[in-house]
Structure 1
Amino acid sequence: MKKYWVEGVFVVVGIALITWIFIQKQNPKPQEIAEEPEIIAEPVLKFGLPVDSFYIEAGTIKRNQYLSDILLKQGVSYQTIDEIARKSKPIFDVRRIKQDNNYYFFCTPDSNRVTQYFIYEIDPIEYVVYQLGDSLNIYKGEKPITSEIKTATGTISSSLWNTMKANNINPVLAIELSEIYAWTIDFFGIQKGDKFRLIYEESFVDSVSVGISAIYACQFQHANTDFFAFQFEQDSINSFFNEKGESLKKAFLKAPLKFSRISSGFSNARYHPVLKITRPHHGIDYAAPTGTPVMSIGDGVVTRKGYQAGGGGNYIYIKHNSVYTTCYMHLHNFAKGMAPGVRVSQGQLIGYVGKTGLATGPHLDFRVFKNGSPINPLRVEAPPVEPVSEANQTAYNHLKDSMTMRLQTIPFGDEQMAAQAKMQASLPKVETAVKPAN
């Protein structure tokens, strides 16, 4: 009897266990859901300071406004202003604050608006911070710079500068291109219908452009001839070479100044606008505003510098080699350090456009002498500098081919407009039902 009782208990327990397992399978225990960690937003910084911790006042330096004028209105004492001026000198001389530059006050967010920091923007990138309080702390900072690889294309209608602006392209590129092609294209003679396309890098601070960082490749079509430029590093120096690996830099610049017009050409018989007589004019007159920088077209030595009352006004002569000498006349004044015997380099500032001497308006009278005789500056042919070396030829060809393929993907000049017009013309016309008159 005992035996059957024990077996019965085991049977009952077994049935109960099986039943419990079945119920658990039918109603599984809900899994615990792990809570996601709380994401804390990064603070918004301006000049390295969290903006939500301050009340910020912004201002702009006005004409004839000094630092003391600005700080006194903010409740900063004369004693603190004097301390700022003295301690700031090794970092930034406060006498150099410029009109139209921005400044900011970072104040406590309460109703007292106590100034904690004064920040002055030296330029779009650099700024100086004055931390006010029990002890004055002064330091410089720089805004983060972002770069973007961009492309540009256009067709010349009036000038390169105007074409850039018309195509919403940074017009500074016009200056960059004029420097790259200074030895191969006369930018005073570019023609309507000339076109270009290029790949470049532009830098931004606070979404505002602060300049062109680099130009990697360009195709400029002038007078139906293609001029290519590829940036390549050789001997640790970045320079520009054409599709054959030849340097775009020549012994001389095409012109001694940027973006002006030729008001008078080279002639053996020109009617002088002041003397009212016909006489030779063995130079090129470049009309430009007074103060326009004038540069040496090549390396050389200053041989003469002076003033000619009855003709050339302020003038300077530069001997480049045993063959060529150049002369720059009617200068408003000379660059610092110019004197006979001083060596100058290609592109170095030597003076400024003026109208000294016999001149009806500001211009540069530029002359070139070959073996002592005047020649037309526009017809000077100069040898190129070193091409891509044989050791670098493989690397250069790889870069050139890659950049050429990328250039070919950019619509050339007005091709983009033509493609858009063609696409527009191919679209089916939608007829509009005309409602009959009552």
Structure 2
Amino acid sequence: MSLQKSRILAQSLLTHARLRVRPPRHPRITAAIGAIFLTTAATVFALATGEDNTPVLQQTVVEQLAIQANQIVDTGEWGYLREERVQRGDSIAALMMRLGLDDSDAAVYLRTAAEAAPIHRQLAPGKVVSARSDANGRLLALIFPLNTADQVLVVERRGEHFVTHHEVLQLSTRVQHGSGEIRSSLFAAADAADIPDAIASQLADIFGGEVDFHRDLRRGDRFHLVYEMLYHQGQPVRAGRILAAEFTNDGKRYSAVFYKPSGDTKGGYYTPDGRSLRKAFLRSPLEFSRVTSGFSNARLHPVFHQMRAHKGVDYGAPIGTRVRAVGDGVVEIAGRQGGYGNIVVVRHAGRYSTAYGHLSGFAPGIKVGSRVSQGDVIAFTGQTGWATGPHLHYEFRIDGNQVNPLTIALPGTPPLAAADLARFRSTTAALQQQLALIKRDNSGATVTASR
């Protein structure tokens, strides 16, 4: 018992005694009673401040409880589950070995079955492959992520045979934050910050109308991102969209947040004050490349070795690189045309058209009369026509005349309506706050949060 409690107990006893005992008529009696009171209070105080040594009564009770018999649950032949990440230069045999599989029948099936062919074609570094096996290393099931449509290829053992089918992934979305600094290139900075290449490409698209990512990047440029990643059973499957971004180029800061205006099913990117960043045309038809030959009225032609005008921009890129439509429009030409080789010409609204030459092939569905949207893949780079190496020849035309696509002022899109501006501010306020918070972190680390 604490000292404070002891004092309270002693005081209460004294008070109680004063209220219960009438004052005596004789002084001697008064002195005697006072002595009794003091003795009592002292005794109580002494007892209260000491340890409580009162023995505690203990009793052991033994009770017989009814125990139900164990029930065995048949879970089937589940086996052992193991995951491995595909490494550069991997073969099916090497991957099976790391997965702990020792199954010649499975190896033959995966090598020869037509149903399993996508595994060979899409065995890309970084993919996470899962396998279930029994105690002897026999394959029970193999789960391989496919490149498109959020699907996996599942190979299952059925008795002594194997069956293969596709399954749609049940994905969950996580919001992630990341920051990076340009040292050599945008993609190198994204890799250093563990940010997917797809997000880096989106970043270049968002600010492509303000920053030329082929020519304008400077060492020390920085970016901050809030973006989505899609997961399946705790494993990242693919990147989602950027929700908010800031890019500082040569000391000038650009900011964007994603927003869907009323009646707009796609959405787009806007500055914090509600100005749309979407241009009527992308600055470049390639996600990321380098300019190998600029727009010029006179240059030495690499094939004919004569001074000729070069009415377009050449982008060096490996054969098969995806070519995007820089704006909405209708395909006017899709075929072979003289020195252009394979070419696509897209007619846009108003006075504008664009041309894409030296292509190795056309994207599925691209033909004369096809409608395309900005960013759609329409073709693939090649070396057809008058070309000495694989590249894309790109032209931007106004009233049929070629102009320099790198210097022309690209038309913008209408701003948000006044009625939608208040909704924009309330909807995007949280994203802008997140972006402001991660700017304080200069480490470039990535932080995740599920939703």
TM over 0.5: yes
Percent identity at matched positions?
Answer: 30
Q: Partner letter of residue 276 of structure 1?
A: H
The reply to whether residue 210 of structure 1 matches residue 240 of structure 2 is no
AA in 2 matched with 1:98: H
Give the Cα separation in 1 of the matches to 2:175 and 2:118. 35
| Residues 129, 141 of structure 1: 8 Å contact kept | no
CA contact (8 A) 1:195 1:412 kept: no
Kindly indicate whether residue 272 of structure 2 is the aligned counterpart of residue 272 of structure 1.
no
1:325 aligns with 2:353: yes
Are positions 1:153 and 2:141 aligned together?
no
**1:202-241 correspondence to structure 2 within 5 Å:** 202-205=229-232, 208-234=235-261, 235=263, 236-241=265-270
1:286 to 315, 337, 350: 315
Amino acid of the structure 2 residue aligned with 1:260: S
Q: CA, structure 1 residues 404+337, in 2 after alignment: closer, same or farther (shift >3 Å)?
A: closer
Q: What letter is aligned with 1:230?
A: V
State the one-letter code of the partner of 2:308.
Answer: R
For structure 2, the residue ranges without an aligned partner over 5 or more in a row are 1-54, 85-90, 445-451
Q: Find 1:162's aligned residue among 180, 188, 208.
A: 188
Report the Cα offset of residue 28 of structure 1.
Answer: 6.2
In structure 1, give the amino acid aligned to 2:393.
D
Displacement of 1:211 in angstroms is: 2.1
SS of aligned partner of 2:438: coil
Q: Of the candidates 370, 385, 390, which is equivalent to residue 418 of structure 2?
A: 390
Report the residue type matching 2:79 in the other structure.
F
Q: Cα offset for 1:255?
A: 0.9
**TM-fit CA distance, 1:222:** 2.1
SS at structure 2 position matched to 1:378: coil
**What is the Cα deviation at residue 178 of structure 1?**
1.9
Tell me the TM-score normalized by structure 2. 0.67
**Deviations for 1:5-46, whole angstroms, at most 9, x for unmatched residues?**
xxxxxxxxxxxxxxxxxxxx96365689999x99x9xx9xxx
The answer to whether the Cα contact below 8 Å between 1:330 and 1:363 also exists between their aligned partners in 2 is yes
Q: Cα deviation per residue 1:350-379 (whole Å; 9 max; x = unaligned)? A: 221112222221111111111222211113
What's the counterpart of residue 430 of structure 2? 402
3-state SS of 2:267 partner: strand
Inter-partner Cα distance in structure 2 for 1:127 and 1:179: 32
Q: Which residue pairs with 2:329 in the alignment?
A: 300
Q: Say if 1:136 and 1:224 are closer, same or farther in 2 by CA, change over 3 A.
A: closer
Counterpart of 1:197, as a letter, is H
Q: Deviations over 1:49-84 (max 9, x none)?
A: 888x52569996359x9xxxx999338999xx9xxx
Q: Which residue of 1 aligns with 2:154?
A: 128
Structure 1 segments, 4+ long, off by >6 Å, are 30-35, 56-60, 75-78, 134-139
In the TM superposition, 1:65-80 aligns within 5 A as 73-74=104-105
- For residue 374 of structure 2, give the secondary structure of its aligned residue in structure 1: coil
| Equivalent residue, structure 1, for 2:42 | none
Q: How does 1:20-99 map to 2 (within 5 A)?
A: 27=57, 53-54=78-79, 61=92, 73-74=104-105, 93-99=115-121
2:12 corresponds to: none
The answer to which structure, 1 or 2, has the higher relative contact order (CA under 8 A, 6+ apart) is 2
Please say if residues 103 and 138 of structure 2, whose CA atoms lie closer than 8 Å, have aligned partners that are also in contact: no
Deviation at 1:323, TM superposition (A): 0.6
Are the counterparts in 2 of residues 290 and 354 from structure 1 also a CA contact under 8 Å?
yes
SS of residue matched to 1:406: helix
Match of 2:373 in 1: 345
**What amino acid does structure 2 have at the position aligned with 1:180?**
I
Residues 344 and 123 of structure 1: is their aligned pair in 2 closer, same or farther, counting only changes over 3 Å? closer
Do residues 198 (structure 1) and 205 (structure 2) align?
A: no
Residues of 2 paired with 1:400 and 1:242: CA distance?
10
Question: What is residue 436 of structure 1 aligned with on the other side?
Answer: none
Q: Is the 8 A contact 2:102 2:138 kept in 1?
A: no
Question: Do 2:231 and 2:237's aligned partners in 1 also have CA atoms closer than 8 Å?
Answer: yes
Aligned-residue offset at 1:257:
1.1
| 1:348 alignment partner AA | D
- What RMSD in Å do the two structures reach over aligned CA positions? 4.2
Bigger Rg over Cα: 2
TM-score (norm: length of structure 1): 0.69
SS in 1 for 2:412: coil
Change in CA separation of 1:150 and 1:276 when aligned onto 2, cut-off 3 Å: same
How much does 1:170 deviate?
3.2
Does the 8 Å contact 2:297/2:311 carry over to 1? yes
- SS, match of residue 406 in structure 2: helix
Code of the aligned partner of 2:270: F
Q: How big is the shift at 1:135?
A: 11
How far does the alpha carbon of each residue in 1:244-264 deviate from its partner, in whole angstroms, 9 at most, with x for none?
Answer: 212222211111112110111
Gapped runs of 5+ residues in structure 1? 1-24, 44-48, 86-91, 418-438
Q: Does 1:188 align with 2:214?
A: yes
**Would the aligned equivalents of 2:255 and 2:271 in 1 still touch at CA under 8 Å?**
yes
